Each structure stands twice: as structure tokens, then as C-alpha cells.
Structure 1
Amino acid sequence: MLLTASFVVTGRSEEVDLPAKDKFHLFLLVGQSNMAGRGKVTPDDKVANPKVLMLNQQGKWVPAVDPMHFDKPKMVGVGLGRTFGLEVSKSNPDITIGLIPCAVGGSPIKSWEPGAWDAPTKTHPYDDAMKRAHQALQSGKLVGILWHQGESDSGPGKAEIYDQKLQELIARFRNELDADDVPFIIGQLGQFEESPWNESKKQVDLAHQNIAKMDGHVVFVQSDGLTHKGDKVHFNAESYREFGKRYAKAYLELTNKSSAK
């Protein structure tokens, strides 16, 4: 049975048909600004695809067009999420992709704990994400969690405990969302020649890689060759799109391997 959701695009009231719950595959997008996206938006980034939807700020299912996130309205732009959704959709024409944007720019990992408050955005990153996720789960099933975060923890006193914090975060997501076997995809921090990594950033990177080696449902996606938009922090739009393809490839390889067992 098809469910109908209303949305507005360029001032016009339109309808989108949601598929049966088991055909609506949901992905949670969490982390900080490089998950939210800060790339320059072009007209192509606003082309709707009926097979790739997103849960907007108002909790409505709408076409996944950039900018998808709303953490910092004056800064948001192209991210990796939309390309990820399009790539995964190509692999299975029988499903519809539902993206749940929840990233918060500048948020350290301690913000992703129950009750934690992010003062710059006046949000509760973890609590808000869980509320949106549970709302989305009324319409579909969670099949993946995409994570890109760590820049805000790449400093003394934070990097040393990042590994433990990340393991706790993954366990918390899985427990809260009943998602023990759901793939958790981690993207590598930006590797920019103009901004060499300090020891703390190397430690965060090592935590990302190690947990992927220890947990068969976690995948690490490299950022080799990707470039920044001029600020030495955020990827440019082209790199976000490439990163989205890499996330999708990693997800598909993991799920294909699991289904082959």
C-alpha cells in the first residue's frame, strides 16, 4: 500500500508516494559540518529524484535536494548525502531511499550523548537525531548510519578519549534504534596539504580505522585525493559528491558481503 506525503517545491503543492515500509530504506546522517555539507550548490543539486527522499526540518518527506541540512542555515550547502542516496538507489530500483539529515556543524562527540546541549546551534544533537529517526521509522526501516565527525575532537584532552566515546556512541545508536546489524559508515577526516594533521587528529583517525577493523558492521571510507573549498576545513562540492560515491560503494560492498554469507 502506498502512503502519501505532502510537500512544497518552488512554491507548488505536490504529492510524493511513499512505498511500503519494507521498500523504504532509511539512512541516518550524523556528525558535524562535513556531514552536513558546506559545498556550493548548483542547479543540478536541486533536481528531484522520486526514489531519493529526505526528512526535512519540519518532519516531512520531500525530494532530497541540496542543501539537505539545516544546522546552520547561512552556511549549509552540498554534502555527501544526496549523492550517496542516488548511488544506492541505482543499485536497487525496487526501493526508495529515505535520508534523515541530523548533522550539527562544530559538534564534538560529547554533544552526541543523551541530554547534551550544543550552544552555538541551540540544539540537542543526539536527542534531536533520535526524535527524527523514530519519526522516520514510522514510514520505513533503518538500513544504515552515516557518520563524519572528529575535527572538533582533534585536540589535547579530547583525542585521547575519542576511541572510547565513539564505541559508546555506536552502541548507543544501535541500542536506541534496535539496529545491532545495521552498517555504520565512517568517513575519514579531510587530508589537506595546506593543513597537516597534528598528533591529535592522527589519534582520531586511528580510532576511526580501528573500530572498523574490530566491528564487522562498521566500514571506514578514505578521503584520499579529496580537496577543500579554500578554508582548509570543509570539502568542496565536487569532493563531497565523490565522498558520497565512496560511502555508497562501501555500504553496498558490506551489505552484498553480508547477504552472500
Structure 2
Amino acid sequence: MACVSLTFGQTDRENSSSPSLPPKEKFHLYLLVGQSNMAGRGKVTPEDQTKNPHVLMFDQEGQWVPAVDPLHFDKPKIAGVGLGRTFGLEIAKDNPEITIGLIPCAVGGSPIASWEPGAFDKATKTHPYDDTMKRAAAALPAGELKGILWHQGESDSSPEKSELYEEKLHELIARFRKELDAPEVPFIAGQMGQFQERPWNDAKKKVDQVHQDLPKDVPNTAFVSSDGLKHKGDNVHFDAESYRELGRRYAKAYRELQKANAKP
């Protein structure tokens, strides 16, 4: 198996931290996009940093390394456990011959308008969509894109923004599929947190309905419920165990999509 090193103008890491990659057809890649509940804000434990040779991540320096939390680096001081690593571990169980590659690109606090070409996110001084496409261009040659995982919506839960959300999300899915040359790639959206301490307003309910309606409105998409999940004490972000459960639910939704698409 070939050893691949990809950088963004930085020096290579030591060889010991750069794992050998499998053949392209056995390296299944997943794009992780959205805002902070995709990036993850859960408390990291030693178990969350246990390496698994079958689950890798494309790190900030543009190298494939073992996937350990935090996967994301959008806000380094608060990034933590998210749903991505558990999703990868679950999917890796399905076929021991396959290696999973996670491409973390979420940006905390980003409204969907910042997930358009040229858009700038002032809080993080990043271009969420453009940066994602650059990372995808660097990461995807090593494997095959098998799915896009999306968790976002809190920043669009206002009367004005929620009215535009359906159109923007459908456009985003189409744009990802076109520009990544993956017209049928599965797209899975997760439900925002349902926390008693922070009741939903009408705008948030509207955004949620867009998520729930995806499977009937856009081909090869799925919706993942957040029923029963808890927050970390801030009424906004899930706690670590809820992120892990969310990862399991995304994996279940992905498997169901794959089963539905399987040829008889």
C-alpha cells in the first residue's frame, strides 16, 4: 500500500504518524459539513482518542492521520467530541476490508449563506464553502467519496433566514454533487437539538421541517432525528454521549440509504 503525504505549505509530519493508505477503491471518504454541532463540542475522554487503523481523518495540515477527537479545528479552544468519529467507526464495522476517511470541514456558527462560493465567515475568518472545496480537492484523489454529512440550521433560525433555508439547502446539495462530480452521493442531515430549556420558535420549526422533508424532496438524502438527546449544559450543543449516539444514527441512516439503492 502506498504512503501518501498531503500538505498545505507546511512540513511533513514524522513518517510514524502518517499511515499507509489502502487502494483508492477501498478508501471510502465522507465529507463532514455544517456548523458547531457537526464540528462537535463534547468533552473529550481518552477513549475518544483511541486510534483505529480503519478510520482516518484529513487533518488541518492536509494529511491522513488516525481519526481521534477533536476531528475539527474551526475553533480549536472549544472543539471536542462530535458525531463524525463514531459514524466512521460504525461504518468501518460493516466491511473489514474498507478504510474510512473523514474530511472535517464544519465551521461553528456558520449560517447556510456562508456555504456559498465566495462567502466569508467573519467570526472564524474563513470561507466555509471555498475552504471545503479546497480540502476536498486535496483529499478526494486518495479514495472515493461515499457520503456527505450535514448538521446545521441554528444560525438560520430567524424569521428572515428561515424563509430562504429550503431553497439554499437544496441548492447546496446540488452544488456539492455537481462540483464534486458525485451526482448521486448520499446526503444526510441531522436534526437540531430539542432541548426543553430552549424551546423552538416558529423559524426553527421551519428549518427543521426543511430537514425532515429532504428525503421526499431531494433524491438519495436522509434525515436523522435528535429525539432524546441531551445538551452539555449550554442549551445549544449536545453532550459527548449524545454526539456518539448521533453518529450511530447517521450510520444507521446511511446503511438504510445504501440498502434502498442496492440493485436487486
Q: TM-score range by the shorter chain?
A: over 0.9
The whole-number CA distance in structure 2 between the counterparts of 1:15 and 1:177 is 25
* 2:91 matched residue in structure 1: 88
Name which of 217, 220, 223 aligns with 2:223.
220
**Runs of 5+ unmatched residues, structure 1:** none
Question: Which letter maps to 2:212?
Answer: Q
Contact map agreement 2:18 2:63 (CA 8 A) in 1: no
Structure 2 counterparts to residues 99-138 of structure 1, below 5 A: 99-138=102-141
1:169 aligns with 2:155: no
User: How far 1:212 moved relative to its partner?
Assistant: 1.9
What is the SS of the residue equivalent to 1:137?
A: helix
1:3 aligns with 2:2: yes
User: How far 1:15 moved relative to its partner?
Assistant: 4.0
User: How far 1:25 moved relative to its partner?
Assistant: 0.3
What is the SS of the residue equivalent to 2:16?
A: strand
User: Any idea what the Cα deviations from partners look like across 1:180-203, whole Å, max 9, x if unmatched?
Assistant: 111000000100111111000000
User: How far 1:12 moved relative to its partner?
Assistant: 8.5
**Runs of 5+ unmatched residues, structure 2:** 6-11
RMSD value, Cα: 1.3
User: Any idea what the Cα deviations from partners look like across 1:116-173, whole Å, max 9, x if unmatched?
Assistant: 0001101000000001111111100100000000000000100011000000100100
User: How far 1:5 moved relative to its partner?
Assistant: 3.5
The whole-number CA distance in structure 1 between the counterparts of 2:182 and 2:15 is 37
The whole-number CA distance in structure 2 between the counterparts of 1:54 and 1:223 is 25
Question: Which letter maps to 2:2?
Answer: L
TM-score (norm 2): 0.95
TM-score (norm 1): 0.96
What is the SS of the residue equivalent to 2:167?
A: helix
Question: Which letter maps to 1:230?
Answer: G
The whole-number CA distance in structure 1 between the counterparts of 2:115 and 2:179 is 13
Number of residue-to-residue matches in the alignment: 258
The whole-number CA distance in structure 2 between the counterparts of 1:119 and 1:214 is 32
1:140 aligns with 2:139: no
* 2:241 matched residue in structure 1: 238
1:153 aligns with 2:153: no
* 1:34 matched residue in structure 2: 37
The whole-number CA distance in structure 2 between the counterparts of 1:226 and 1:110 is 27
* 2:198 matched residue in structure 1: 195
**4+ residue segments displaced more than 6 Å:** none
Larger proportion of strand: 1
Identity of aligned residues (%): 67
The whole-number CA distance in structure 1 between the counterparts of 2:71 and 2:233 is 22
What is the SS of the residue equivalent to 1:57?
A: coil
Contact map agreement 2:170 2:218 (CA 8 A) in 1: no
User: How far 1:210 moved relative to its partner?
Assistant: 1.4
